[in-house]
Amino acid sequence: MLMAMGSPDGPERYDAVIIGAGVIGSAAAFELAQRGHRTLSVDKLPAAGFGSTSNSCAIVRFSYSTHEGVAMSYEGLHYWLDWPRYLGVDDPRGLIGFNQCGTMLVKREGGHHEKVVPLLHRLGIPYEDWDVATMIERAPILDPGAYGPPKRPEDDAFWDEPDSQILGGIFTPESGYVSDPQLSAHNLQVAAESCGGEFRFGAAVVSVDREADRVHGVTLSDGTVIRAPVVVNVAGPHSYLINQMAGVYDSMNIKTRALRHEVHHVPAPAGYDWERRGFHVQDGDTGVYFRPEVGNNILIGSEDPECDPREWVDPDHFDRSVSDAQYRAQVLRTARRIPSLPVPDDRKGVVDLYDVSDDWIPVYDRTDLDGFYVAIGTSGNQFKNAGVAGHCMAELIEACQAGHDHDRDPVVVRGRYTDFELNLGFYSRNREVNPDSSMSVNG
């Protein structure tokens, strides 16, 4: 256990400071606190999960292109299935619900499923291989046309009728989505507090302090000085700024930056109960993903196809209004797969940020500054892994603080639920860009 210290006159002292109280930061705080560490979570926003977590599509799926990605996401599923027992406490605001609607990954010639299926099979994850007839039987509103590669509506070829069909879909019945992403972070805050963890909101970090070659704590914008032998950067889209404060940004081979992203909401086709009969669809052929949403709506996100511009932004200054161009692109792409989809003129949706690494795979690691750890590059695809990511970070921190050389001999964590081996070296800050990454996001 890290040694807690305190003084009534000097700086505040904790075992660990966690910068960021989104769903992964709150999970890391809970995991450390329940191991007996005295933690302080600081966040510049007014509540847990108030930043990019609140606008997450909160999809839990296993359709990754790497063994490690599939294994971690399937382990992560079980935290949501076991949520009340995992937390061990009640939240006065209630606990999140997990909607286990399943995911259909569109099969197309040369598609993403060719990487995914062998991994599902190897890890023993249940899946169904649907042909087109089965897909239409399960969801008659879906059109089987092959429209790819993804295009934008201003491209004349966007409107061409397909001359072939997709191959069907790979359906994973255990996947789904979390009903209230912000509440999930609050649930974790309450659980951490029940173990002695503390949270401080409206608290911006202005300095990551060091003593010689070790982290020494942080200083807040109000002048408060906090001393701790461990600081964990889980600052989401602001993570690269915190790394710059800590002086570790340049020494990391994998960097992160903030990407502006839009998600849109439209009604389901009239007379079709997509909220209850529908499922999450991952459609690389049209370049979108969509899932059921409360009120018989459909939530639509982008897979970031190559034809779409990427807008890298300052996380404190970006346009939060839904744009007409991206609304049309995403909704009309979905309308190719669902021809009866309404396309309202009244644009509804949310705009927020992803914290994106160079290969869209997160960094769960120590850094060259002893005691300073990172759980970054997580936005857009790691919400589902909050529980297991928090567990892995706690295991990593305890090992390194006890003297383990993680860079030379990567920490391997056993999954609590699946017993899968999770090699944290895969998420190293010093890795090369992973060629097996899909370089995109799907909730």
Question: For the segment 356-415, what is each residue's pLDDT rounded down to a tens digit?
Answer: 999 999 999 999 999 999 999 998 789 999 999 999 999 999 999 999 999 999 999 999
The residues that bridge with 171 in the sheet, in sequence order, are: 104, 128
**What is the b/e burial string over 385-413, where b = at least 16 CB atoms within 10 angstroms of the residue's CB?**
bbbbbbbbbbbbbbbbbeeeebeeebbeb
Running DSSP on this structure, what letter comes out for residue 370?
Answer: B
| Bridging pattern class, strands 59-60 and 176-178 | antiparallel
List alpha helices for 17-131, DSSP H.
23-34, 67-81, 83-87, 113-123
Average pLDDT over the chain, rounded to whole? 95
Distance CA 218, CA 105 (A): 44
pLDDT at 1: 41
Cβ within 8 Å of residue 323, ≥6 positions away? 262
| pLDDT of 7 higher than 70 | no
pLDDT at 443: 56
pLDDT at 409: 98
Q: For residue 114, count other CB atoms closer than 10 A to its CB.
A: 12
| pLDDT of 439 higher than 70 | no
| pLDDT of 432 higher than 50 | yes
Reply yes or no: is the peptide bond before residue 149 cis, omega within 30 of 0.
yes
**pLDDT tens sequence across 103-148:** 999 999 999 999 999 999 999 999 999 999 999 999 999 999 999 9
| Bridging pattern class, strands 421-423 and 198-201 | unpaired
Q: Which residue type sits at 381?
A: N
Beta strands in 187-302 (DSSP E): 198-201, 205-211, 214-220, 225-227, 230-233, 256-267, 280-283, 288-293, 297-302
| pLDDT of 220 higher than 50 | yes
Instruction: Return the SS3 of 40.
Output: strand
By 3-state DSSP, what share of the chain in percent is helix, strand and coil, each rounded to 5?
30, 25, 45
Q: Which residue type sits at 43?
A: D
| pLDDT of 438 higher than 70 | no
CA angle 244, 247, 250 (to 5 degrees): 75
| pLDDT of 212 higher than 50 | yes
Structure token digits, residue 179: 């009903």
**pLDDT tens sequence across 286-339:** 999 999 999 999 999 999 999 999 999 999 999 999 999 999 999 999 999 999
Distance CA 37, CA 212 (A): 24
**pLDDT tens sequence across 32-83:** 999 999 999 999 999 999 999 999 999 999 999 999 999 999 999 999 999 9
The residues that bridge with 423 in the sheet, in sequence order, are: 412
Distance CA 150, CA 168 (A): 17
The percent of residues above 70 in pLDDT, for the chain, comes to: 97
**pLDDT tens sequence across 145-190:** 999 999 999 999 999 999 999 999 999 999 999 989 999 999 999 9
Q: Tell me the angle at which helices 386-401 and 23-34 cross, rounded to the nearest 10 degrees.
A: 50
For residues 74 and 62, the answer to whether their CB atoms sit within 8 Å is yes
| Closest C-alpha to 117, from 100, 132, 129, 135 | 129
pLDDT at 379: 82
Please give the distance of CA 65 from its chain centroid, rounded to a whole number: 16
pLDDT at 381: 87
